[in-house]
Structure 1
C-alpha cells in the first residue's frame, strides 16, 4: 500500500454566517418583550451602550393628572390616610397604592382557611404540610403513607388532616385523582343519587366519549337518565385550582405596530415607546482615538462592535417588519376596512416574493408579533391563511371563513340528529365550496368541536 501526500487547490462556494448575521436573525424572531429583556441584559453588560426610554405621551398625561397626596385625603375617613406620605416625591412614578395588595395564591388561600378552623395547632401544622404538597392542578400527588413516614405521624392522623383540607374551598381540593375530586364535589353539593357516584367510579371514559347507550346498558338505566347524570358530572371542575393564582404571571401583549386609518388610507406606526433608543457613549470613543492603554483599547473596540451589531440588528428588525406590514395592508385592505369575513387567502410565500426576501425571513419577522387595528389587537400570523376555491369562480375563500360556516352549521343542527362530517361537506359543496370530508373533519378538530356521535343528545 502506497501513501502519497499531495497539495490540491480547490474552489467552492459556501455561505458563512457572520456574527452580525446571526444576531440579526436572533433579534428578528424575538417578541417585543423578549427583545426588551435582551436589550436590558446587553445594557447591563456593555458599558459602551446608552439607553433612553421615551415615555408614551398619553401615559405621561395620565400620570401628570394623578396627585396621590390629594387621593389620600379622600380616604382619611377610613384610616387610609393614617400613614404619612408627606415625603412622597410627586415626580416619582411609584404610587403608594402599589403596595396595598398582592396576588393571593391558592396555597395562601388554603393556609388562611386552616388558621380559621378551630383545630389544634398540631393538626393545623399537618394540614399546612399537606397544602404545601398540592400541585398546580389542585391535586395531592403524594400518598398518605409517604406523608405519615416523612413527618412521623400515624395514618389515622394523616387521614384526619387530609379530610380537613378536602373540606376547604375550592371544592375538590387535595384530591388524589380525578374520581376522588369529582366525588368530593358531588358530596359538597349534596347529591345523594348513588348512580352519580357509580358513573364517576366506572364510566368516566365512556362519559368523555358521550357513549350514553353503553353507560345505560351497563348501569341498567335509560339512555335519557344516563345523559342527565352525565350533564351533572360535566358541571363539576376537574381542575380545582382553576381561577387561582398559581405563581405564573399574566403575560401581556404589546403590539409591535399600530395600523391607523387616516382619511381612508392606512398608515403603519411602529411602537417604539417600549424599547429604548440605543446610542454609544462618546467617552469611550476617546479611549480608542488616544490608544494609550492597548488592553483598554481592545476591550472598548470589542464592546463597540457588539453595541453596533445590536443597534443595526434592531433597526433591521424594525425595517423588515415594516416592509411585511406594508404588503399585508395592500393585500388585506378589505379585512382592515370591514372585518374578519373579508380576510383573503395569503401565504408567507406571497409576501416573501413581493418584498424580495426568503419565506423563513418573513416567518421570523412575524413570529410572536401583534398589531393594534381599529377593532382589536391581532396576531400577525393569524392574517396568513390558506384558501379554498369556489366552484363557480376563481375566487379563493379564506379557511377562517370556511371554519366559521362549519361552526354555524353545527350550532344550528338538530342535536338529536347531529350532522356528520360528510353531511357538512355535502352542504358546503352545494354552496359551491370545493371541500372534502377529510378537510371538514380537520377544521372541526382544529376548532375543538366534537364528532357527531359525541354531540348527540338523547
Structure 2
C-alpha cells in the first residue's frame, strides 16, 4: 500500500468549552462566600466593572408567573429589613464609617481616649488593632516551650519536626522512623525528644494513641496507679460499657470503679483543640421558602448573597476614544467582553438556582407540611427532566447551596436521597426518612427491651418499609448508634 498525501473533507460536531462557558459552569457550583470572593477579584482585574450599591432587581419569574406551580419572587429591600428586624443601612460599631460618624471633634477627648502619643487616636495615628496578635496556634505554643526546655541545636531540630507532625487534635499519628532516617538520628534520641514534648502544655499533647494521651494526663495528676493503668490499657472495654470485665481486670470494687471512670471522664481526649480553633461559619441561605397566603409556597432568592456588578459604559466610551495601539484596543475589547459575560453569567446563575429550588419545593411539599417522615425519594434526573436542564447542571447548582424553610435551613443535597421499596406495594420511602424512623425506634426503646437489628427490620416491614438487615446496620452505624449489645450495657449502667 503506497503512502501518498491527500485531502479529505469531513463533517463533524464537537462541543468546544470556551473560557466563558467554563466560567459560567464554575459560577454555578460556587457558594455565596466563594462567589463574593470571585467577583471581588474580577472587580480588581477588570477596569470596566464596578460594584452596584443598589439591591438586585427581581429576577423574571417563569412563564405564567410561576415555576411548576410554586410562586417565585425576589424579596424587596423592605421585606429583607422586616425579616431581619434591622435597617440594612446600619453598620457595625467598629466599621470605619460608623467610627468616623461617632468620633469626637478635632481637639476634643472622647470617653475612651488614651494618652499614648501626641496624635491621640487621630486619623493619622497608628491603629491599635493592627498590633493585636492573632490567635495562638498549637505549633506556635509548643515551639515556645521547646525553645525553653531544649538548648541543644540537634534536639531543637528534631523537636521542630515532631511538632510539625502533630495534628490539630494534639496527636502524633505518623511513625518516628522517617524522622530518624532523615536526620541520621537514632530512634532512642527521637523518642527522648518526644517524651520532652509530651511534658508540654496542654497535658496529653504529642500522644500517639488515646490510651497514651490519658496516661500522660494521669501521670501529671499523680493518679497513674496500677489499677488506673489497667483501665487505660483496656479503654475499649469502657467504651463498650463492659464494666463487669473491666472491674475484674482492675481488681477494684464497684465504688472504686465508678470513681476511676469519673476521673477518666474529667480528662481531655483531644488536648490540641483548645488552640487555633476555626471560627464558626454561619450558614447563609441562598433561597427563602415561605408559606403563601393561598396555601402554596413562595420561593425567593436571598438578595444579600447575590453580588451585583455593572459595566461602566461611560468609562469605556472615554477610554476607547484614546486608544492608539492594537494591543490597547485588544485589551479593552477583552475587558468589555469579560465584563458583559460576567454580568450575564451572574443573572443566569440566579435564575438557575431559583428554578432548581422551586422544583425541589414542589417535589418535597409534603415534607414542608408534615416533617422528615414524609420526605420523598428524589434524584437529580427527576429535577433535571422537570425543568428541562442537564443532570450535571442540577448537580452543580445543588453544591454548597442552602434553602431556608419553615422547618429549618437545609442544604439542597439534603432533599435528594435514595428510594427504599415498600413491602405492601405502595409508594417508595426516602432513605433519609427511614434513617429518621430507625433513630426514633431506638430512642423509644427501654433497657429491658433493646431492639436488635432483626427486630428493627421486622418493625419497619410492619410499617410498610421493605429493608434488609444489612441496610439497617449500615444506617445505624452511619448515624453513630452503637449495636444492641452496647446499648443494653449502657442503659443498664445508667439505670
TM bracket, shorter-chain basis: 0.7 to 0.9
2:311 pairs with 255, 258, 280, which one? 280
Question: How many pairs does the alignment contain?
Answer: 440
Does the 8 Å CA contact 2:171/2:205 hold for their aligned counterparts? yes
Rounded Cα–Cα distance in structure 1 between residues aligned with 2:282 and 2:4: 66
TM-aligned CA distance change 1:410 to 1:128, over 3 Å: farther
Show structure 2 runs of 5+ residues with no match: 56-76, 105-109
What residue is the counterpart of 2:481 in the other structure?
Answer: 449
Secondary structure of 2:271 counterpart: coil
State the distance in 2 between where 1:409 and 1:42 align: 53
CA shift for structure 1 position 444: 1.1
Correspondence for 1:269: 300
Taking the aligned partners of 2:378 and 2:329, their CA distance within structure 1 comes to: 51
C-alpha distance in 2 between matches for 1:416 and 1:235: 30
Stretch moving more, 21-30 or 101-110: 101-110
Structure 2 CA distance for partners of 1:428 and 1:304, relative to 1, 3 Å = same
User: Which stretch of structure 1 is more off in the superposition, 361-370 or 43-52?
Assistant: 43-52
Moved more, 309-318 or 185-194: 185-194
Map of 1:63 onto structure 2: 91
Residues 35-76 of structure 1 show CA distances to partners (whole Å, capped at 9, x for unaligned) of 12221222222222222345886464443889769799xxx9
SS in 2 for 1:268: strand
Equivalences for residues 215-254 of structure 1 within 5 A: 219=249, 233=264, 236-246=267-277, 248-254=278-284
Given that 2:113 and 2:121 are in contact with CA atoms closer than 8 Å, whether structure 1 keeps it comes out as no
For 2:11, the equivalent position in structure 1 comes to 11
- Name the residue aligned to 1:200: 232
- Write the distance in 2 (CA, Å) between the matches of 1:10 and 1:284: 43
Contact 2:288 2:302 in 1 (8 A): yes
Give 1:360 shift: 1.2
Q: Name the CA shift for 1:80/1:296 in 2 (closer, same or farther; >3 Å).
A: closer
Decide which of 397, 416, 425 is 1:365's aligned counterpart: 397
Asked if residue 179 in structure 1 is aligned to residue 207 in structure 2, the reply is: no
- Of 257, 263, 283, the residue aligned with 2:287 is 257
Contact 1:216 1:226 in 2 (8 A): no
- The 1:303–1:63 alpha-carbon spacing in structure 2 relative to 1, beyond 3 Å, is closer
Query: Does the 8 Å CA contact 2:230/2:250 hold for their aligned counterparts?
Result: no
Distance verdict in 2 for CA 1:11–1:221, change over 3 Å: farther
2:74 matched to which residue of 1?
A: none
- In structure 2, the residue matched to 1:308 is 340
Once the two structures are superposed, what CA deviation does each residue of 1:333-360 show, in whole Å capped at 9, x if it has no partner? 3333444344332221221111011211
Question: Aligned partners of 1:411, 1:298: CA distance in 2, in Å?
Answer: 68
1:27 is aligned to 27
Counterpart in the other structure of 1:334: 366
- Residues 295 and 451 (structure 1), Cα distance of their counterparts in 2 relative to 1, 3 Å cut: same
2:72 is aligned to none
| 1:92 match | none
Query: Cα distance, 1:298 vs. partner?
Result: 1.2
RMSD in angstroms over aligned alpha carbons? 4.7
TM-score, scaled relative to structure 1: 0.76
Q: For structure 1, which runs of at least 5 residues remain unmatched after alignment? A: 90-94
Q: Does 1:421 align with 2:449?
A: no
CA distance in 2, matches of 1:88, 1:374: 47
3-state secondary structure, aligned to 1:40: helix
Q: Does the 8 Å contact 2:285/2:401 carry over to 1?
A: yes
Give the TM-score normalised by structure 2: 0.71
- The offset of 1:171, in angstroms, is 3.0
1:183-233 CA-to-partner distances (Å, cap 9, x unmatched) read 0223345545523312433x456666677788788x486998999677865
**Per-residue deviation, 1:108:** 5.9
- Cα deviation code 1:370-405 (max 9, x no counterpart): 122344322111122233344446233332221122
Q: How far apart, in 2, do the equivalents of 1:236 and 1:18 lie?
A: 57
Alignment partner for residue 413 of structure 2, among 358, 381, 386?
381
